[in-house]
Structure 1
Amino acid sequence: MLGAGRSHRLLLVEDDAELREMLTETFADEGYEVDDAADGQRGLHLGLTRDYDVLVVDRILPALDGLALVTKLRARACPARALMLTALGTVGDRIAGLDGGADDYLVKPFDLDELSARVRALCRRVPEPADALRIGSGLLDLSLRDVQLADGTRVGLSAREFELLRVLAARPGAVHSRNELRRRVFDEAAAASIVDTYVYYLRRKLGRGVVKTVHGLGYRLGVLA
């Protein structure tokens, strides 16, 4: 079982339905919040639109293989720890997995207790949530849900403004599409243009540099002057 404190969030990507169900139940029983996916494309979607502490990813997957999945998530600055779970166990396979962004590599068939121990070890490497996220010379205060500027001035944010800025600040190097931000901050039914509206609100309060437009792709975190 996990120790006291927040539950760790885990994404399991495995195409074997029986194994996926067994592992999902096992991790849930151990106290994890678990999402699962049966193919690499769905796993990529979840990894880009939700926050996870640990990824457990099969190497051979339909739609998108596990190595490509982890590599694409790393390219989008996904910070989750990743364990590659696979039947491909040669030294070359392990090196490719680790070089592709995996933090650990476990070969099938595996011992369930060993898998659980390796996931716990990865969780110990996940930093505790910060009380504030830096934005240039300012701070996004996660407890007070406002922004502290370099001179000490505090700027209040609405709930949606705060959440949009939090998502951007949590992964400062990542570019987020409008659709991704709409799903994560607003609602599936909301128009994508609502993201542009709230970016405008943040810039009006905090300066144009706080959110950068990446033309043709979306937005990323900028800086506070």
Structure 2
Amino acid sequence: MSPPPRILVAEDDVRLAQMLRNLLAGEGYAVTVAHDGQRALHEGLTNEFDVLLLDRGLPAIEGLDVLAKLRASGVVTPVLILSALGNPADRVEGLDRGAEDYLSKPFDIDELLARLRVLRRRLASTVPVLKIPGGTLDTGSRSVTRRDGQIVALSEREGDLLERLARRSEQVFTREDLLVTVFADADDAGVVDTYVHYLRKKLGRDIIDTVRGVGYRLGRSA
């Protein structure tokens, strides 16, 4: 069973944020809410989402500045801007700053849900190849191509774990982080250690670094 799509809702209007949380949860999303730009930036940098719903008028850090900082940090998650600023110049600015879509307030609920589905399909149709130590990971086929041309097949869980690490190659993940984001149906963080062992056995010990007292990250030779 596939995990639910994860969405970050960055909205400072508490009532609207709660309405969106309830609506999206009812549509099968796992919803995280941030009420200011600082929190939205933190969530976007430290967690993996399938789509971001971002208000422009956020306190602490304005929505488009949050978006720019995420893009500068390599976060490529599709973003839908939701804003009361809806004239053509505002929409163009939002799209030019890195958003995939822009919807003005007040909005139609069915249109919002349809636009989110489009963004998720667009993401699913893009199969990136990620750099890892000694080669590349094809996230579609869940296979690694070594520099010598040898192809190593991974299981679904092995591929998910390696992709999670490779997408944020500078980040150190705790075992609990990886348990929640990769092994959501397990309740023992020991499963993370088990799959790290599997990946090292197939791809070499340098594929994943252990950061003592913290957790794991992608090998530093990537």
- Normalised to the residue count of structure 1, the TM-score between the two structures is 0.67
TM-superposed CA distance for 1:134, in Å, is 4.1
Q: Which runs of 5+ in 1 are unaligned?
A: 187-201, 212-218
Give ranges in structure 2 of 5+ residues lacking alignment. 180-199, 210-216
Q: Percent identical across equivalent pairs?
A: 42
Tell me how far apart the structure 2 counterparts of residues 74 and 141 of structure 1 sit (CA, whole Å).
Answer: 22
Q: Secondary structure at the match of 2:113?
A: helix
Spell out, residue by residue over 1:77-129, the C-alpha distance to the aligned partner (whole angstroms, 9 max, x if none).
11211000000112221111111111111111111111111111111111269
| Superposed CA offset, 1:187-218 (max 9, x none) | xxxxxxxxxxxxxxx9x9339xx98xxxxxxx
Matched residues in 2 for 1:133 and 1:21: separation? 36
Q: 2:7 matched to 1:14? A: no
Q: Give deviations 1:13-53, integer Å, cap 9, x for gaps.
A: 00111110011111111011111111111011000000011
Residue 205 of structure 1: aligned partner? 205
Q: Please tell me whether residue 74 in structure 1 is matched to residue 71 in structure 2.
A: yes
Q: Is the 8 A contact 2:6 2:30 kept in 1?
A: yes
After superposition, the Cα gap between the structure-2 partners of 1:119 and 1:131, relative to the gap in structure 1 and judged at 3 Å, is: closer
Q: How does 1:1-150 map to 2 (within 5 A)?
A: 5-127=2-124, 133-135=130-132, 138-140=135-137, 149-150=146-147
Q: CA deviation at 1:8?
A: 1.4
Change in CA separation of 1:153 and 1:58 when aligned onto 2, cut-off 3 Å: closer
- Letter of the 1:205 counterpart: R
Q: TM-score, normalised by structure 2?
A: 0.67
CA RMSD of the aligned region, Å? 4.0
Inter-partner Cα distance in structure 1 for 2:106 and 2:71: 27
Q: Does 1:169 align with 2:166?
A: yes
